[in-house]
Amino acid sequence: MKTKILIVILVSFLVISVVAAGLMAAKPDKAGRPEKLKQIIFVHPVAPDKPGKPDKPPGKPPKEPEEPKDNTYYEFWGGYLADTLAYHINPNVGLVTAGDPVAAVNSAVEAWDVVTADDLFSYAGTTTESWYAEDGENTISWVKFIPRDYIAVAVMWYDPATMIIYEVDIVFNTFHNWGIDPGKKDRAFDIQNIATHEFGHPAGLDDLYDEIYSELTMYGYSKTGETKKCSLEEGDISGAQELYGAP
């Protein structure tokens, strides 16, 4: 069956609030779901290519020193989970390498749960639902959408008065190939690698785009064959533990 291409309006992707690390209000008690929630969308673009090399000038210019990596940094976007988020997975994805996509997503979730005192996420089984919608369900799915250079999107609905997150959908873009621990020759994105990053957003963490943060799970760019985001770095862990405590 031909996959329906869902057009995503770019402007809606750019409405992302950034809250500096450490500026998080005390959690209020969770109440019933408000009637009107605010939506926020985080996009995960493909890492841009490096600029082409200029023509070689006479003599070799001195090489500029690279900035050291900072694996301790994190930022909050403002929202957080006040209760365990139960999610469903639609496993309908064409893999380029053998493996179980459900297990890969659950392993990504576990990376966050093992470093916090609270149980942030809970697997609730598979679903046939896909895309994102405010429907009371937390759905992880694969859909072909544009812009095609977006790897995935994480969509959340939250109460702007309390910043409690009530619903989360994560969509992986099937314009790209997906796999389990794929090699570079597979030209595929690793499911666990991207999922670990995406679940950092409902955990309350924001994207980081400066190159000095490129070893962190919350670094906002990814490449095919990459797996380093599967495990959390110091900054990712510190941010999660500031919100939810250490185990």
Buried b (16+ CB within 10 A) or exposed e, 28-63: eeeeeeeeebeebbbbbbbeeeeeeeeeeeeeeeee
Q: Does 196 map to a domain?
A: yes
> pLDDT tens track of the chain, all 247 residues?
444 443 333 333 333 333 323 223 333 444 588 989 999 999 999 998 654 444 555 555 556 666 789 999 999 999 999 999 999 999 999 777 878 999 999 999 999 999 999 999 999 999 999 999 999 999 999 999 999 999 999 999 999 999 999 999 999 999 999 999 998 788 999 999 999 999 999 999 999 999 999 999 999 999 999 999 999 999 999 999 999 999 9
Q: What is the pLDDT of residue 17?
A: 33
Q: What is the pLDDT of residue 60?
A: 55
Q: Does 61 map to a domain?
A: no
Nearest CA among 206, 221, 218 for reference residue 150: 221
Report helix angle 101-113 to 191-199, nearest 10.
40
Q: Does 4 map to a domain?
A: no
Buried b (16+ CB within 10 A) or exposed e, 75-90: bbbbbbbbeebebbbb
> 1 to each of 4, 128, 199, 204, how far by Cα in Å?
9, 15, 30, 37
Q: Does 178 map to a domain?
A: yes
* DSSP conformational letter for 215: T
- 224: domain CATH number is 3.40.390.10
Q: Does 56 map to a domain?
A: no
Residues 6+ apart with CB under 8 A from 191: 93, 99, 101, 104, 105, 108, 172, 178, 179, 180
Tell me if 93 sits within 8 A of 142, measured CB to CB. Answer: yes
Tell me if 154 sits within 8 A of 202, measured CB to CB. Answer: yes
Tell me if 105 sits within 8 A of 170, measured CB to CB. Answer: no
Domain that holds residue 150: 75-244
Q: Does 54 map to a domain?
A: no
Single pTM value for the model = 0.82
Q: Does 18 map to a domain?
A: no
Strand order in the sheet with 38-45: 38-45, 150-158, 165-173, 139-143, 85-89, 121-126
**Cα–Cα distance between 104 and 199 in angstroms, integer?**
13
Q: Does 40 map to a domain?
A: no
Helices (H) then strands (E): counts for the chain? 4, 10
* DSSP conformational letter for 186: G
Q: What is the pLDDT of residue 191?
A: 97
**Cα–Cα distance between 175 and 154 in angstroms, integer?**
17
Tell me if 218 sits within 8 A of 72, measured CB to CB. Answer: no
Q: What is the pLDDT of residue 26?
A: 34
Domain count, the chain: 1
